[in-house]
């Protein structure tokens, strides 16, 4: 029943780790540019906020769906309401990560524009980790959709149905005799 819970938990652990690294890299970049040049890049601050929100959201999301998976195994029911909350939070993070990754890639597409030395490597690492988080979150969204589809397939009332009668088969009509 809960075959997609473990892969999502592994992906969320990976995303959490990537977010910790991203938070460290972006924090260093803001500190470096603010102390040496007196400015900071707004997209780097957006990535700091995105990484921090990810660090807060993912443990709560993992806790929600692991507790619900335990209930599903014990009770045998097929409802999975935490998927909606998990999907909503993941969508917000997904948009934030794609915006951060796309804008930072546009600003620093290669080492020629990012600069040489340590600061250039930091910028390219920020871009790479932003894309890693986005790709892993996309995979987690796919696993969530697969879990939802699997639960809807075994449910007597799909989550989109308002009443059980909405999905009953129509009565077969007899073919006209010729």
Length of the chain: 178
Number of structural domains in the chain:
1
- Domain annotation covers residue 177: no
- Domain annotation covers residue 128: yes
For every one of its 178 residues, what pLDDT tens digit does the chain have, with 9 covering 90 and above? 457 778 888 899 999 999 999 999 999 999 988 888 888 889 999 999 999 999 999 998 878 777 766 666 655 555 566 677 778 888 999 999 999 999 999 988 776 666 677 888 898 999 999 999 999 999 999 988 888 887 777 665 555 554 445 445 555 555 566 5
Find the domain containing 50 and state its range: 5-157
pLDDT of residue 172: 57
Burial 55-75, CB ≥16 within 10 A → b, else e = eebbeebbebbbebbeebeee
- Domain annotation covers residue 45: yes
CATH of the domain at 88: 1.20.58
- Domain annotation covers residue 178: no
- Domain annotation covers residue 172: no
Token pair belonging to 173 = 């009509």
pTM attached to this predicted model: 0.76
Burial 25-39, CB ≥16 within 10 A → b, else e = bbebbbeeeeeeeee
- Domain annotation covers residue 120: yes
What is 99-128 written as a DSSP string?
A: HHHHHHHHH--SHHHH-SHHHHHHHHHHHH
- Domain annotation covers residue 168: no
- Domain annotation covers residue 175: no
Q: Which of 64, 48, 40 is nearest to 133 (CA)?
A: 48
CB contact set of 65 (below 8 Å; sequence gap of 6+): 5, 8, 9, 82, 83, 86
């Amino acid at each position: 029943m809960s075959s997609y819970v473990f892969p999502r938990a592994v992906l969320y652990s990976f995303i959490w780790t990537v977010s910790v690294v991203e938070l460290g890299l972006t924090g260093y970049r803001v500190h470096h540019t603010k102390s040496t040049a007196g400015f900071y890049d707004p997209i780097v601050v957006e990535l700091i906020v995105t990484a921090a929100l990810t660090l807060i959201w993912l443990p709560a999301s993992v806790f929600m769906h692991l507790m619900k998976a335990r209930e599903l195994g014990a009770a045998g029911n097929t409802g999975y309401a935490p998927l909606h909350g998990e999907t909503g939070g993941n969508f917000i993070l997904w948009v934030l990560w794609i915006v951060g990754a796309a804008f930072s890639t546009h600003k620093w597409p290669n080492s020629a524009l990012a600069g040489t030395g340590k600061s250039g490597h930091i910028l390219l690492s920020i871009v790479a980790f932003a894309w890693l988080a986005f790709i892993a979150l996309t995979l987690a969204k796919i696993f969530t959709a697969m879990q939802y589809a699997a639960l809807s397939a075994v449910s007597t009332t799909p989550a989109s149905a308002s009443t059980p009668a909405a999905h009953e088969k129509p009565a077969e009509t007899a073919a006209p005799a010729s």
